[in-house]
Structure 1
């Protein structure tokens, strides 16, 4: 039987400025199973804060869907493969409809990703093979990025393949790119 070539859904963790080294920016990346040399293209879906044009000094949460290259950047720390896409149009529609919460300090990009995964699970059309248990995703993601830090993946030392993004495949419960 031929291997599936469906797009993949990843939870991505990015470095974020500030004092807390364990504070990440969370996003969803969708991209092809096979990534080409020099970086394939995919999409990043996330909630980000932007200045509120109606109130000086205030920020609002906005949804962003952006085409991106999938090679390593300084800010992308790693990603967790959580699903195969079965209906790309439905996936985009579902993610665009995930609510944004304003003026609640406990709401952030990580909560948006959690809610987005729950919405994808609930729509019953976007995803095929998948792991959508948030507790498992959150634990694996945090643990994986911390292991990469301990291995000094991000400080330029070691023999890491240039341009690769550390990736943990939650579907197969194994690291697929170190």
Structure 2
């Protein structure tokens, strides 16, 4: 979780305006995520208290996933139907183990 949505209309409008790049082998879905966060920050009306820094989000998310892998969270397929491990960047804590 990265923050609180305060204006759903602005959120949807802003996210819909972020282009999906075609024909560029260097472009990835994570590129879209970074661009979307920049667009949300520029909009300034869709999100309340939030963390919109892509580098911080990616770094913390990768660390959280590494920890869950080390704990064996994804070792058995039956675990995949359980609630997914979720880190709340806004509160800086795990909210679903």
Establish whether residue 86 from structure 1 lines up as the match of residue 9 from structure 2: no
Which has a greater percent of strand? 1
- Determine the C-alpha separation between the residues in 1 that align with 2:43 and 2:24: 26
TM-score of the pair, normalised by structure 2: 0.91
* Structure of higher RCO (CA pairs closer than 8 Å, 6+ residues apart): 2
Please give the residue correspondences for 1:39-118 in structure 2 after superposition, counting only pairs within 5 Å.
Answer: 81-118=1-38
Deviation at 1:163, TM superposition (A): 2.6
- Determine the C-alpha separation between the residues in 1 that align with 2:49 and 2:34: 18
Deviation at 1:170, TM superposition (A): 0.4
Residue of structure 1 equivalent to 2:84: 165
Residue of structure 2 equivalent to 1:174: 93
Which has a greater percent of helix? 2
State which structure, 1 or 2, has the greater radius of gyration over its C-alpha atoms: 1
**Unaligned 5+ runs, structure 2:** none
- Determine the C-alpha separation between the residues in 1 that align with 2:30 and 2:55: 12
RMSD: 1.7
